[in-house]
Structure 1
């Protein structure tokens, strides 16, 4: 994989079950926060499959669209776009009523020093969204950060594990879930809380962070010694198919890859592929931020793209000068400060 075009093609590949699901899903699809890292490829994934099935479903993406080029690219791909600030009541109220809503809006990085905005986006806005779309089914993107650090020997927190978020970002994300749950119960809105842990593509994510650190001869902190990752295309497909799991009260779903990946192992394998030695600092701790996604795999299947495939693609991308969006994941963070 050596170009953005090839990357976008891979991101919109899907499992055999995806068209079957779309053919049974009633109503159009509205993506709130389509301008983020995952939104454009999620919209394209849905639109590509809908067109292949020759269905008449609309895919509508909503964002502030600070980048006019992204809006033009999405519209060229047949995705309808609406520029709106979701915190603006008038603009929110003007959005079309759509049966299927995927809520991807939120904020993480920059929380420290800007906590009020983080809480407004992550905990206040969900209530306004629920009021507006009380006749819809909603998949709300959440995060594995709502869990505490758990013993590596447990293999990650499952959905049964009580939330115990560390830091204001994670606390606001639990706030988002609780607000959505309140309105789900009040209005009988079917929902899914989609707790995602570290989606990646070649331009960002844990694999990119580690491989680039090796290439640039930067140190790799081993204190968060284990991680989960999942191919962004697989996470996007699971998010759309999760519309079929929506319930009242909300259905909670951990979404990540099946492996508990050793950071030391990951860096060592990358060093072999890149021909450079990793520079480690500190030692692995007994706990890490990990999720058990066995329920998602039971209901939606295993990810289509394997860890080793993602690693090979990452190396190819970096060695050929592929672009980087310069948004580190901060997966090493252990005190919840973003």
Structure 2
């Protein structure tokens, strides 16, 4: 147990380690940072990296992390990084109005899983609330987390969806996420608010994500469906770095940016590579369809260069974690879903 605890500490330390480019970019960023919805899987990495970059840059700036903080440990972790926790329910207008002012906002709140049967809540979180936030922070610069499912299933052979592609809505979750983008776009155009639509592929670390799910299936001899035969993945440290750096790219009308690694990852090939490391042959179900939720990351690479963590690095780290029986977050991505039912 002590070894696993040390592994978790080392993992979280690495996920919040700022790159030199993040330190440089945050040094020339004017004003404080508010991160709304900081309590999710990625939020602590973004907030922690921002706070560490501020210290390394030797500047005076505050990172405010806003969430309900139902888990006291999450609040304590942020405080250790130097983030100022702000307990608040964003859906309460009075609490939203009372949030700290800041020149920079990273918006991460939203709802995905449990949408089926609770569609009204998903629309409130993903569409109505962004409109309220856009009005509250009309004078700020905003990076709004979005998703690759705002695109339709793409032909893998063409290299994936590009920022200029028209949205393709499959299911109410995807529709509500397009609604989120439209709300930020409307208020950006109305007030001149600089906004960056941060269209994130599948974020990866050892405790959750597409790679962890595939690795666990191979290790456990569980059949792997191939209908969704490819995925766009990126390591969580790189996601955090790009989120912070993207504040400099916010514009009005909003700019859209695909956040993904340079390759489209084959589910079959990933399983085979994990199988080689485990000495176990993967078990497959079905065949690839040729389409998947995949994105082209050329614009990201042009703006910021390639991610610091390669796909090979991710595979090695995830494989090692699975062999050690390291803990998981327990929130499956459901990346195999093709009907938009989350």
Aligned residue for 1:17, secondary structure, equals: helix
Match of residue 38 from structure 2: 34
Match of residue 118 from structure 1: 122
Q: Does 1:74 align with 2:78?
A: yes
Of 42, 59, 62, which aligns to 1:58? Answer: 62
Q: Does 1:84 align with 2:84?
A: no
Q: Does 1:187 align with 2:208?
A: no
In the aligned structure 2, how far is the partner of 1:24 from the partner of 1:82? 25
Residue 313 of structure 1 deviates from its aligned partner by 0.3
* TM-score of the two chains, using structure 2 as the length reference: 0.97
In the aligned structure 2, how far is the partner of 1:193 from the partner of 1:73? 28
Match of residue 233 from structure 1: 237
Residue 309 of structure 1 deviates from its aligned partner by 0.3
Residue 14 of structure 1 deviates from its aligned partner by 3.3
* TM-score of the two chains, using structure 1 as the length reference: 0.98
Match of residue 201 from structure 1: 205
Residue 76 of structure 1 deviates from its aligned partner by 2.4
CA deviation digits over 1:277-324, x for unaligned, max 9? 211001100211110011011001110000000000001111112110
In the aligned structure 1, how far is the partner of 2:301 from the partner of 2:147? 17
Query: Superposition pairs for residues 298-337 of structure 1, below 5 Å?
Result: 298-337=302-341
In the aligned structure 2, how far is the partner of 1:16 from the partner of 1:83? 31
User: Retained in 2: the 8 A contact 1:211–1:315?
Assistant: yes
Q: CA RMSD in A?
A: 1.0
Of 155, 168, 171, which aligns to 2:175? Answer: 171
In the aligned structure 2, how far is the partner of 1:259 from the partner of 1:249? 29
Stretch of structure 1 that moved more, 66-75 or 186-195: 66-75
Aligned residue for 2:127, secondary structure, equals: helix
List runs of 5+ in structure 2 lacking aligned partners: none
In the aligned structure 1, how far is the partner of 2:86 from the partner of 2:20? 31
Write out the 4+ residue segments of structure 1 that deviate beyond 6 Å after TM superposition.
Answer: none
In the aligned structure 1, how far is the partner of 2:80 from the partner of 2:267? 40
User: Retained in 1: the 8 A contact 2:52–2:82?
Assistant: no
User: Retained in 2: the 8 A contact 1:14–1:234?
Assistant: no
In the aligned structure 1, how far is the partner of 2:335 from the partner of 2:203? 12
Aligned residues: 338
Of 254, 274, 278, which aligns to 2:278? Answer: 274
Q: Does 1:8 align with 2:36?
A: no
Aligned residue for 2:100, secondary structure, equals: coil
User: Retained in 1: the 8 A contact 2:150–2:174?
Assistant: yes
User: Retained in 2: the 8 A contact 1:29–1:101?
Assistant: yes
Residue 191 of structure 1 deviates from its aligned partner by 0.4
CA deviation digits over 1:80-137, x for unaligned, max 9? 0111110000110110111000000001010011100000000000110011101100
CA deviation digits over 1:183-236, x for unaligned, max 9? 000011000000000011111000000001111221100000111110011011
Match of residue 262 from structure 1: 266
List runs of 5+ in structure 1 lacking aligned partners: none
Query: Superposition pairs for residues 140-179 of structure 1, below 5 Å?
Result: 140-179=144-183
In the aligned structure 2, how far is the partner of 1:111 from the partner of 1:273? 36
User: Retained in 1: the 8 A contact 2:36–2:66?
Assistant: yes
User: Retained in 2: the 8 A contact 1:31–1:43?
Assistant: yes
User: Retained in 2: the 8 A contact 1:197–1:291?
Assistant: yes
In the aligned structure 1, how far is the partner of 2:167 from the partner of 2:125? 20
User: Retained in 1: the 8 A contact 2:18–2:50?
Assistant: no
